[in-house]
Structure 1
Amino acid sequence: MSNFQEQINILVEVQGVELEIHQADRLVNALSNEAAALDQAVAEREAMVSSEKAALDGLRKAYRDLESEAKVNAEMVVKSNEKLRAVKTNKEYQSILKEIDEIRKKNSGIEDRMLEQLETIESAEASVKSKEAELAGFVQSYREKKEMFAAKEKRERQSVEALNEKKARISANADPQIFTVLDDVKKKVRGLAVVPVQQAICMGCHMNIPAQLFNELQRFDELRFCPHCHRIIYWKEQG
């Protein structure tokens, strides 16, 4: 095997390792995105439960306000009844009775609202309890998945590290100028930068190359490029 053929083989091997690195990096990013999506899902569910609990606290406060108002009114009725015992005219007596009646009617309305509020509170409490249970289950599942994603991501990062070391070992035997050319080609083409030619067809763009160029490829004496896609090409014997 010629030295130049060895250099081509190094380029092909490095390209294969780079593809593995790219795939591992994509998996790492995908795992990271999935973990971030889980974080967001938990945050949204926690915010929803927090919002419902805040609404429940508001209902309870409103009930306490009604309760306080009813208590004040009840005390007013007691005081008005005490005033009845001290009145001296029928007019004052009737006025106080009317006042007591109005307070009692008002309290009756408040008590009705309190009953409605209690029903609303009970419904809200049941909803919050259910949402908290769902959240607890989701958080448990979330933690398990996060641990799984973290373990997978760690393995993939270790794989990337090992592949980079492998690439460095392979590249150490290459002519630096060849890698300069390879980097230039990578900037110009999408996908593989080094491709074989089989039966006079470039495996990068699947176009026929000139017969003379196909014959020259088999010499392995210099870098050659596809006249159509401009990738680095090399002759690969049919298996």
Structure 2
Amino acid sequence: MSNIQEQINMLIDVQAVEMEILQAGRHIHVLSGETAALDQAVVEREALVAAEKKALEGMKKSYRELESESKINAGMIAKSNQKLRAVKTNKEYQSILKEIDEIRKRNSAVEDRMLEYLETLESAEQTVAEKVTELQDFIEYCRKKQETIAADEQRERQAVEALNAKKTRISVKADPKIIGILEDVKRKVRGMAVVPVQQAICMGCHLNIPAQLFNELQRLDEIRLCPHCHRIIYWKEKDNE
């Protein structure tokens, strides 16, 4: 095997390792996204439950205000009844009776609203209790799910470390100048920087390379680039079969 062929093989190996690192990096990104999505889902559910709790507290406050108003009305009726025992004229008596009747009517409306609130409060309290339980279950589910994701992410990061070490081991054996060419090509092209030529066609851009270049490529005497896409190209022996 010629020295150039050995160098090309090293470049191919480096590229293969880099592709594995890239795929692992993408997987890590997906896992991180899943973790963030679970966090966001918890925040959203917590906000919904908090809103329902706030609405429930608002109803309880309104009920307490009605309850306070009812007590005030009851106190006013009691005072008016005391005044009845002290009146001396029929006109005053009738006036106080009318006042008591108006207070009772107002209080009856208040009590009706209190009953409506009691029915709503009972249903709302049950709903909130169920939502709180569901939220706790969901938080626990997310916690366990994130633990699994974290373990997967840790394995991927360890794999990346191992791949980087493997890449370093390969790279140190390669000619620094050729590694430099590889890095330069990688900055200029997307995807694979080292591609084979099959039947005089560059597998990077899928265009025919000149016949002379194809013949030169088979000499394996130096690194050559595709004249179209500028990737590093190499010839496989099966093309000669």
| Equivalent residue number for residue 44 of structure 2 | 44
1:34-71 CA distance string (max 9 Å, x none): 10000000110011101101110110011011001000
| Equivalent residue number for residue 185 of structure 1 | 185
1:10-43 CA distance string (max 9 Å, x none): 1110000000000000000100001000000011
| Equivalent residue number for residue 212 of structure 1 | 212
| Equivalent residue number for residue 222 of structure 1 | 222
1:72-119 CA distance string (max 9 Å, x none): 100110111001001111111111111100100000000000011111
Aligned equivalents of 1:237, 1:126: Cα separation in 2: 76
* 132-141 vs 148-157, greater mean Cα deviation: 132-141
Letter in 1 for 2:149: F
Aligned equivalents of 1:237, 1:113: Cα separation in 2: 92
CA drift of 1:199 comes to 1.7
Letter in 2 for 1:164: N
Name stretches of at least 5 consecutive residues in structure 2 with no aligned partner.
Answer: none
| Equivalent residue number for residue 26 of structure 1 | 26
Letter in 2 for 1:159: A
* 104-113 vs 180-189, greater mean Cα deviation: 180-189
Aligned equivalents of 2:237, 2:37: Cα separation in 1: 48
SS in 1 for 2:28: helix
| Equivalent residue number for residue 69 of structure 1 | 69
Paired residue total: 239
Matched residues, percent identical?
Answer: 70
SS in 1 for 2:87: coil
| Equivalent residue number for residue 164 of structure 2 | 164
Letter in 2 for 1:28: I
* 2:143 pairs with 1:143: yes
User: Does the aligned pair in 2 maintain the 1:198–1:237 contact within 8 Å?
Assistant: no
The RMSD of aligned alpha carbons is 1.1
| Equivalent residue number for residue 12 of structure 1 | 12
| Equivalent residue number for residue 102 of structure 2 | 102
SS in 1 for 2:237: coil
Taking structure 2 as the reference length, what is the TM-score of the superposition? 0.96
Letter in 2 for 1:71: K
CA drift of 1:217 comes to 1.0
Taking structure 1 as the reference length, what is the TM-score of the superposition? 0.97
Letter in 2 for 1:12: I
Name stretches of at least 5 consecutive residues in structure 1 with no aligned partner.
Answer: none
Letter in 2 for 1:86: A
Aligned equivalents of 2:79, 2:192: Cα separation in 1: 94
Structure 1's consecutive aligned runs of 4 or more residues displaced over 6 angstroms after TM superposition are none
* 128-137 vs 62-71, greater mean Cα deviation: 128-137
